[in-house]
A = this chain, B = another copy of it.
Amino acid sequence: MSNPSLLILPGDGIGPEVMAEVRRIIGWYGDKRGIHFDVTEDLVGGIAYDTHGTPLHDDTMAKAQEVDAVLLGAVGGPKYDALDFSVKPERGLLRLRKEMDLFSNLRPAQCFDALADFSSLKKDIVAGLDIMIVRELTSGVYFGEPRGIFKEGNERVGINTQRYTESEIDRVARSAFELARKRNNKVCSMEKANVMESGILWREVVQKVHDEDYPDVELSHMYADAGAMQLTRWPKQFDVIVTDNLFGDLLSDLAAMLTGSLGMLPSASLGAPMANGRPKALYEPVHGSAPDIAGQGKANPIACILSFAMALRYSFDQGDEAARLETAVEKVLADGARTADLMGAEGGTPMSTAEMGDAVLAAL
């Protein structure tokens, strides 16, 4: 049997630096644990635009469809701000999500004990926090038509369309309930059913999926504005949150920031099972391309390393190996290893990107 295949897309900014550390971790799994991957690397985002005039070349898209999992670094940077909407770095990422049909975006918001002090929130509010946001990723206002800037009388109007079908809501709801069963068995669904009909349908379908197939999971509904408040007030009330593409964008960033561990948080974007039973999958850190510190060896590689841990768990059924990597990361943090973003009042050992990679390898 051939090795499982990985497509690595380091992208822009700090993407290549953090991904270099992930490649060393992947190497370690081959050498020490006999878990081998066939790795290919390609371009996405601004660097793909610079090379091919498009943020995602068709050949890269085709490769992404064939591999067992994609690992992505980050896309974007000020250099590309003036580009036309259709070729901006983000479009490369959005095309991957859409064409791979990665409808379920898992964003854990987890507070690492060693880092609880970094949060702008009080320690008792965030210490031990562990919630999972499941964001719908292939529909809603990100992709709905009509969209664009149109002439109307003697002025212009900007239009986007929020759009959800029952089956789109159904499948992401199921993935949230499945996850909840492996966690604390609670799902909170967020929308604006008080002002949006798409939210009414969202609420109704989530409730139906629950009642028919997941009655054992505790389900609640919350308006997204109240959700933003409650996340800020007492985030530990949540286990799994399921929400749409746009609300998920804001709420997951908010949840990530609560933990104080932004440079630490991974994500998984999953689609339907392929012929080999594995889901279509893309893994990426929640942080962006951080152009201000790119190329200086300052970036924190942990979010990207933990994204690979999610790949081990969700794509390759290696939950134990994923836990091994996660434990190694917790250990280095507990030992005081700190990249620049983690240097706070209480000190620690300052480390470059590569030194943090060394530390994780040593802990493995």
Contact = CB atoms under 8 A, between A and B. Distances in A.
A176 B148 CA distance: 25
Contact of A232 (B160, B224, B232): B232
B200 A149 contact: yes
Given A141-B162, A165-B157, A197 B147 contact: yes
Contacts of A156: 165-166, 201
A76, A121, A197: residue with the most chain B Cβ atoms closer than 10 Å: A197
Given A158-B200, A165-B156, A232 B254 contact: yes
A254 B234 contact: no
Nearest to A169: B158
Contacts of A232: 120-121, 232, 254, 257-258
Interface residues of A, number: 58
Given A120-B234, A250-B250, A159 B162 contact: yes
Copies of this chain per assembly: 2
A184 to B, nearest CB: 21
B200 A85 contact: yes
B149 A158 contact: no
Given A125-B120, A165-B156, A192-B246, A197 B228 contact: no
B120 A201 contact: no
A218 interface: no
A142 interface: yes
A159 B257 contact: no
Given A157-B163, A166-B157, A198-B160, A257 B228 contact: yes
Interface in A253-279: 253-254, 256-258, 262
A214 interface: no
A226 interface: yes
Contact of A155 (B76, B162, B166, B246): B166
Interface of A: 76, 85, 88, 90, 94, 120-122, 125, 141-142, 144, 147-149, 152, 155-167, 192, 194-202, 224-226, 228-229, 232-234, 246-247, 249-251, 253-254, 256-258, 262
Given A120-B125, A142-B196, 18 more contacts: A85-B197, A120-B234, A121-B122, A121-B232, A141-B195, A144-B159, A149-B197, A152-B165, A155-B166, A157-B163, A158-B200, A158-B201, A159-B197, A160-B196, A161-B162, A192-B246, A228-B251, A229-B254
23 contacts: A94-B195, A120-B232, A121-B122, A141-B196, A142-B196, A147-B196, A147-B197, A149-B197, A149-B201, A156-B201, A158-B164, A159-B162, A160-B162, A160-B196, A160-B197, A192-B249, A225-B250, A228-B228, A228-B253, A229-B253, A229-B256, A232-B254, A250-B250
